[in-house]
């Protein structure tokens, strides 16, 4: 089989490595892919993840048997719809279903209409009304979210009225996130451990994957700016079997059926960003895709063949499949360019040891080839993942490998998994 994967980051590398385990797979094309992915797939750097028509043409002319659309932008732009029209089977939601991530207003209204637990909220399309609301009724901290996609940066948490006014101005008037800020959601600030649950769904059945925990802030101790994610661990020890059962009943199944009733059944990977509040689990956000870097700890623990699962999703036969997981744990430490998520330099040569242990995998997120070497080309450069019998073992091996990989300005957090370890020991969050 010839496969095509749209995207070019660490998440796509993890998907490609897992798909390659299937002996039926002959060639995997990555559009655009990246320098490190080129060791596992045929990369096509000329075709970007948002070049929908070029992607469809490529699939038709290269006898692609199955496509995986991984990032949010092409999903929201209807890449899966267009591939289906061209007769290419694929994994991922339609543009209509992708609104669950691409429009926070759609997602919040869906949750309200179908009684799915989430933070209380108001929607505004007029900055004057938003400001009046904040001045009259709001208590702080409060959460201000741009409606549309914003590279994971569209959520602001003002601590006081002045910061809230600045947030509204930045999103709605200065249009920091472009048209994504035409509407905003202002919502209640929730507290509690956060859990990421990625789930396979064919619109009828849902199979949650191993839970995970992201580390979104740039600095140790959860300080500094929000990033795309500086590291992950799986499973998430806060996500107990009884909480999982509660989420299935109150969140996962109701979301699936809500999307069906709304005429946009969700097929693909649905990501539930949950907060375990004192009032029970609540949805912080939905994503219409695999998380990055959650995928880099979740897929290494998948025992069942990934292509088989993805085809069952496409064929709507997921309910007939037994999806199995390895026991143990996984950890991923992101190596970023110094300065990320602010400005940073690129073009730094990467030194990768060739003798890393078998339980360690380096996923390439932001690099490119130059003179036969790999050089940095993005903020998040590499994800160093390790599996182990315990979370301690996985973290030890991921950090040991991360130490041995070099490039000028390499930046990493040193406390990935520490909160999870405290939770495992029964400590406070």
| Ramachandran bin of 236, using left for φ above 0, alpha for ψ from -120 to 50, beta for the remaining angles | beta
DSSP letters along 155-214, please?
EE--SSHHHHHHHHIIIIIS-TTGGGGSSEEEEE---S-EEEEEEEE-SS-EEE---BEE
**The two three-digit tokens of residue 300, written as one number:** 């290494």
Q: Quick one: 188 or 415, whose CB is closer to ligand AMP?
A: 188
Taking CB under 6 A as the rule, does residue 292 contact ligand AMP? Answer: no
Taking CB under 6 A as the rule, does residue 148 contact ligand GLY? Answer: no
Q: Quick one: 227 or 387, whose CB is closer to ligand GLY?
A: 227
Q: Which residue is nearest to ligand AMP (CB)?
A: 285
Taking CB under 6 A as the rule, does residue 153 contact ligand GLY? Answer: no
From the CB of 189, what's the least distance to ligand AMP, in Å? 4
341 interacts with, out of ligand AMP, ligand GLY, none, CB within 5 to 8 A per kind: none
Which residue of 73, 81, 285, 294 would you call a contact of ligand AMP, by CB under 6 A? 285
How many whole angstroms separate alpha carbon 251 and alpha carbon 238? 17
Query: Residue 4 — φ and ψ, nearest 5°?
Result: -130, 130
Sole window of 200-208, 285-293, 346-354, 402-410 interacting with ligand GLY (rule: CB under 6 A): 285-293
Taking CB under 6 A as the rule, does residue 152 contact ligand GLY? Answer: yes
Taking CB under 6 A as the rule, does residue 294 contact ligand GLY? Answer: yes
294 interacts with, out of ligand GLY, ligand AMP, none, CB within 5 to 8 A per kind: ligand GLY
Q: Quick one: 130 or 251, whose CB is closer to ligand GLY?
A: 251
Number of chain positions touching ligand AMP (CB under 6 A): 13
Contact between residue 297 and residue 330 where contact means Cβ atoms under 8 Å apart: yes
How many whole angstroms separate alpha carbon 333 and alpha carbon 412? 7
**The two three-digit tokens of residue 109, written as one number:** 């209204």
E strand map for 326-401: 329-337, 360-364, 367-370, 373-376, 380-388
How many whole angstroms separate alpha carbon 205 and alpha carbon 203? 6
From the CB of 287, what's the least distance to ligand GLY, in Å? 5
Which residue of 12, 73, 194, 294 would you call a contact of ligand AMP, by CB under 6 A? 194
**Contacts to ligand AMP from residues 134-153, by CB under 6 A:** 143, 152
CA-derived radius of gyration, the chain: 21
Closest CA to 209 of 88, 106, 297, 82: 297
Number of chain positions touching ligand GLY (CB under 6 A): 7
Site string for ligand AMP, 209-228 (x = CB under 6 A): -------x------------
Taking CB under 6 A as the rule, does residue 291 contact ligand GLY? Answer: yes
Taking CB under 6 A as the rule, does residue 194 contact ligand GLY? Answer: no
From the CB of 139, what's the least distance to ligand GLY, in Å? 27
| Ramachandran bin of 162, using left for φ above 0, alpha for ψ from -120 to 50, beta for the remaining angles | alpha
Taking CB under 6 A as the rule, does residue 187 contact ligand AMP? Answer: yes
292 interacts with, out of ligand AMP, ligand GLY, none, CB within 5 to 8 A per kind: ligand GLY
Could you tell me the CA-to-CA distances from 246 to 25, 33, 196, 266, 362 in Å, in that order? 38, 38, 15, 21, 35
Query: Residue 58 — φ and ψ, nearest 5°?
Result: -60, -45
Taking CB under 6 A as the rule, does residue 8 contact ligand AMP? Answer: no
73 interacts with, out of ligand GLY, ligand AMP, none, CB within 5 to 8 A per kind: none
Contact between residue 33 and residue 43 where contact means Cβ atoms under 8 Å apart: yes
**Contacts to ligand GLY from residues 227-246, by CB under 6 A:** 229
How many whole angstroms separate alpha carbon 368 and alpha carbon 11? 16
**The two three-digit tokens of residue 176, written as one number:** 């920091």
229 interacts with, out of ligand AMP, ligand GLY, none, CB within 5 to 8 A per kind: ligand GLY
Residues in the site for ligand AMP, rule: CB under 6 A?
119, 143, 152, 155, 187-190, 194, 216, 273, 284-285
Residues in the site for ligand GLY, rule: CB under 6 A?
152, 214, 229, 287, 291-292, 294
């Amino acid at each position: 089989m010839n496969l095509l994967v749209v995207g070019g980051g660490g998440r796509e590398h993890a998907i490609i490595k897992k798909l390659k385990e299937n002996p039926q797979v002959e060639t995997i094309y990555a559009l655009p892919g990246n320098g490190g992915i080129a060791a596992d797939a045929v990369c096509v750097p000329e075709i970007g993840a948002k070049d929908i028509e070029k992607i469809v043409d490529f699939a038709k002319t290269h006898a692609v048997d199955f496509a995986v659309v991984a990032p949010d932008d092409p999903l929201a732009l209807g890449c899966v719809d267009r591939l289906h029209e061209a007769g290419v089977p694929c994994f991922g939601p339609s543009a209509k279903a992708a609104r669950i991530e691409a429009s926070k207003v759609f997602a919040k209204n869906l949750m309200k209409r179908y009684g799915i637990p989430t933070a209380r909220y108001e929607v505004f399309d007029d900055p004057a009304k938003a400001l009046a609301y904040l001045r009259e009724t709001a208590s702080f901290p409060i959460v201000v979210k741009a409606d549309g996609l914003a590279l994971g940066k569209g959520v602001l948490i003002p601590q006081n009225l002045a910061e809230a006014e600045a947030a509204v101005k930045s999103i709605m008037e200065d249009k920091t996130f472009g048209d994504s800020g035409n509407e905003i959601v202002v919502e209640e600030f929730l507290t509690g451990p956060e859990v990421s649950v990625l789930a396979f769904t064919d619109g009828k059945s849902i199979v949650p994957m191993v839970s995970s925990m992201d580390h979104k802030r740039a600095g140790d101790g959860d300080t500094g700016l929000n990033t795309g994610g500086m590291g992950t661990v799986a499973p998430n020890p806060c996500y107990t079997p009884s909480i999982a059962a509660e989420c299935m009943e109150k969140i996962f199944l109701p979301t699936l059926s809500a999307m069906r009733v709304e005429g946009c059944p969700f097929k693909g990977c649905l990501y539930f960003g949950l907060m375990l509040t004192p009032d029970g689990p609540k949805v912080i956000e939905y994503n219409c895709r695999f998380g990055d870097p959650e995928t880099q700890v979740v897929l290494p623990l998948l025992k069942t063949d990934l292509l088989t699962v993805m085809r069952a999703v496409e064929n709507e036969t997921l309910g007939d499949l037994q999806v199995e997981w390895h026991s143990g744990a996984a950890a991923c430490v992101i190596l970023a360019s110094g300065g990320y998520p602010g400005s940073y330099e690129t073009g730094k040569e990467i030194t990768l040891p060739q003798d890393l242990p078998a339980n360690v995998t380096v996923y390439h997120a932001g690099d490119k080839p130059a003179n036969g070497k790999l050089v940095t080309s993005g903020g998040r450069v590499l994800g160093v993942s390790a599996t182990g019998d315990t979370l301690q073992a996985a973290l030890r091996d991921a950090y040991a490998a991360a130490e041995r990989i070099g490039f000028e300005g390499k930046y990493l957090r040193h406390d990935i998994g520490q909160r999870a370890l405290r939770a495992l020991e029964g400590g406070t969050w």
